[in-house]
Amino acid sequence: MKKVAIIMGSDSDFPIVSKAIKQLKDYEVPFEVHVMSAHRTPDEASEFAKNAIKNGFGVIIAAAGMAAHLGGVLAANTTLPVIGIPCKGPCFDGMDALLATVMMPTGIPVATVAVNGAANAAILAIQMLALSDETLAQKLVDNRKKMAETVVSKDKDIQSKVDEI
């Protein structure tokens, strides 16, 4: 199975990224986590992306706040899918990171999840890998079924509370 790379622009993004790590562990998907900056270590970030395919990666997740150019820098240097997680920073409620992540030029896409949406970034990466992995695809189906069962159960609980009023 291909690995997922999680690259954060700063170690301050780790509390957000930890939700992606949990999802990947739950699905037993191999991954690596690194800190690389689009601005402070651009050569290292570019080199990582250029070598990602030969190093066994299938998807790259890029988490960054503020200027949030990390996803774009990585995407510019690989043909692997890159998923951006715009991280809420000290100002603008993460809108700056969101806009910097989604506004990519034609030909260099970065799929983007919600601000701080690390869990969904991991699930999207898992869905991409599941295109060529039937076991992983079945885990996704099973998890969707479990989520639906949880909602049905909660609905029944609410109905009984409504009846008691």
Find how far residue 151's CA is from the centre of its chain: 24
Task: Give the integer Cα–Cα distance in Å for 86 and 74.
Answer: 14
From residue 113, give the alpha-carbon distance in Å to each of 25, 98, 138.
19, 9, 23
Task: Give the integer Cα–Cα distance in Å for 109 and 26.
Answer: 27
Q: Flag whether 10 is marked binding.
A: yes
Cβ neighbours, 10 Å, residue 26 = 14
Q: Flag whether 144 is marked binding.
A: no
Task: Give the integer Cα–Cα distance in Å for 72 and 108.
Answer: 7
Task: Give the integer Cα–Cα distance in Å for 72 and 102.
Answer: 9
User: Residues marked as binding for substrate?
Assistant: 10, 13, 40
